[in-house]
Structure 1
């Protein structure tokens, strides 16, 4: 049986890019928040082995996600790719942006969690950009820069606690270190942690992700006000941030 794997992180920390990267590997099949309603704030539920049977995973009539193959051609192609390699995958799982990891680990004791972390100022800047975009109806206008602080702290504390109590099950990877390194050392370390061989498809996906990061994200000027920046820097748990960064892959 494939082993459960969850790619987790606070929203706007790089979880989508992380999922796309690891889904490029022939032995990995991770959903794009396939069970977001079940494990999110709405239902506060958990996941079981039954959720990752083929029959259950690809039956979207359960209404547990709005990221469905019938919604957009992108997701149709995405899930078709997962379907083709499902029976040969070594890891199957889901992307998580609500970091209630402990209940999942209790119901899936073999699960592993690769948690991505990102600088609070960059996360808050991304939240703020979306909040100010009137065309972005999927993001609340109240979720601006300052609204990111409490969830950022809470996410780090949950990841830190799980990393401390289950070091063999939880690994941390930093967004900038992962995508900013042209040699892909952190990506290679993550594959090694999972016991997976390097693969040409994965290498190609990483090269594309690194180019995207270098061209569109690295060096991009934040639009945060001085007041918001000061608020974030004063309220962020920077000591824990530093410890997690030092222990990241």
Structure 2
């Protein structure tokens, strides 16, 4: 089977490490983060009827030539990729999948996919485009994710937003996982992955219906596929270790720990993360968090409502049709 594989999770949960582990597999290629799947989906009205060759050509050129899409990081020939996309089955998922499949082919591998933490908020959209995909949700202690996000120069939000980002990642994963067919959604924890990588990767390979390969234990040998400008992935340059586990103890203030454990407590305990029990946070901190969470929820609701209306009025087909197994093709 050549089912697509998508790695998702809260930002700073270790998804780049997992990407490199899977990319080390002799049959799987997962590229550095791309930035064209979701924009293409939400702007799909602009491309018109993809049965028209000119429309497919325009979409292909937009994907390849738009600077923010990170196409250059894939190392593919632009003209050849445009031609391949234009010749793909006339659905959005097929054209997008063609780029990822071309990346895998450039590495001599049959299975393709993508990795981007943000995808955890858009799983229903990805399922519409890739109905036969398998989704791997990497989960890390929410306090560690928050502590790491605080240190990122590209993170422009406050601690409350970071805490809510982890909560939404967990909730979105659970919601989508309940709706997916069996064998489509898999969770694993970062702490288990770095403590016993061989066992965790063997279990993951069983889910993916792939034979485990020991080369997956040496992701640092492939770290060069991650663009060097991304210095925040420096840990992937070395061998697997658990040094970053519980880093929140030194990165978060007492007030931040109280807030995180109060609002995330049930979710944290579900995954076996012990709470320190430092007490209830101040009312002003809780009020700010719940305002932040409510605003984020409203944003998600408006986005889904707009997209839901478009799907009702257009009845469009966006599903990828590149699968070699007819039983996995959408009807």
Report TM bin, short chain: 0.7 to 0.9
Moved more, 205-214 or 102-111: 205-214
Structure 2: how far apart are the matches of 1:178 and 1:229?
Answer: 24
State the TM-score, normalizing by the size of structure 2. Answer: 0.56
CA contact (8 A) 2:74 2:103 kept: no
Write out per-residue CA displacement over residues 37-83 of structure 1, whole angstroms, 9 at most, x where no aligned residue. Answer: 5426x97468xxx9xxxxx6xx7424452473399xxxxxxxx9845
Are 1:114 and 1:171, in contact at CA under 8 Å, matched by a contact in 2?
yes
2:113 match: 93
Q: Is residue 5–residue 113 contact of structure 1 (8 Å, CA) maintained in 2?
A: yes
Match of 1:171 in 2: 186
The Cα RMSD (Å) is 3.4
Q: Which has the higher strand share?
A: 1
State how far apart, in whole Å, the 2-side matches of 1:186 and 1:151 are: 25
For the pair 1:198 / 2:212, whether they are aligned, the reply is: yes
In the alignment, what sits opposite 1:39? 38
Matches within 5 A, 1:50-199: 60-63=64-67, 65-66=69-70, 68-69=72-73, 82-86=104-108, 88-89=109-110, 91-98=111-118, 99=120, 100-130=122-152, 136=153, 138-140=154-156, 143-166=157-180, 167-181=182-196, 184-199=198-213
Aligned partner of 1:27 in structure 2 is: 27
Tell me how far apart the structure 2 counterparts of residues 64 and 85 of structure 1 sit (CA, whole Å): 23
CA distance in 2, matches of 1:38, 1:232: 32
Structure whose alpha-carbon radius of gyration is higher: 2
1:233 aligns with 2:237: no
User: How big is the shift at 1:23?
Assistant: 0.5
TM-score for both structures, normalised by structure 1: 0.73
Q: How far, CA to CA, are the matches of 2:5 and 2:272 in structure 1?
A: 21
The answer on whether the counterparts of 1:12 and 1:127 sit within 8 Å (CA) in structure 2 is yes
Cα distance in 2, alignment partners of residues 145 and 153 from structure 1: 12
Gaps of 5+ in 2: 45-49, 51-59, 76-101, 223-235, 274-331
What is the alpha-carbon distance in structure 1 between the residues aligned to residue 200 and residue 43 of structure 2?
A: 32
Q: Deviations over 1:91-134 (max 9, x none)?
A: 2111122211112112211111001111111001001122xxxx
State the partner residue of 1:77: none
Following superposition, the deviation at residue 152 of structure 1 comes to: 0.9
- Deviation at 1:193? 0.6
The number of residues matched between the two structures is 215
1:222 is aligned, of 239, 250, 256, to: 250
